Amino acid sequence: MDYGDILKALRAERDRVLRTIAALEEILPATPPPKRGRKSMGPEERLKVAKRMKAYWSKKRELDSKH
């Protein structure tokens, strides 16, 4: 098989793949783009973060007061 035949076969495969993709895109519903920005937190998650940050700042103040 020479390079011309290889290129011909690859182009045919590419065309088949592109046609398949186009057909699937027509059938499947469009997916919404991903949301940007921060995700919202529920009350439980917010409480966990608040406790973690309270401990963080308490420890930081303790270390700062020693220096």
In the chain, where are the structural domains located?
A: 3-31+41-66
The reported pLDDT for the residue numbered 1 is: 75
The reported pLDDT for the residue numbered 2 is: 93
pLDDT tens by residue, 22-67: 999 888 877 777 788 888 899 999 999 999 999 999 999 998 888 7
The reported pLDDT for the residue numbered 3 is: 94
How far apart are the C-alpha atoms of 12 and 41, rounded to whole Å? Answer: 50
The reported pLDDT for the residue numbered 55 is: 97
Tokens of residue 58, six digits: 């308490």
DSSP 1-67: --HHHHHHHHHHHHHHHHHHHHHHHHHSPPPPPPPPSPPP--HHHHHHHHHHHHHHHHHHHHHHHH-
| pTM recorded for the entire structure | 0.43
Q: 7 with 14: CB under 8 angstroms?
A: no
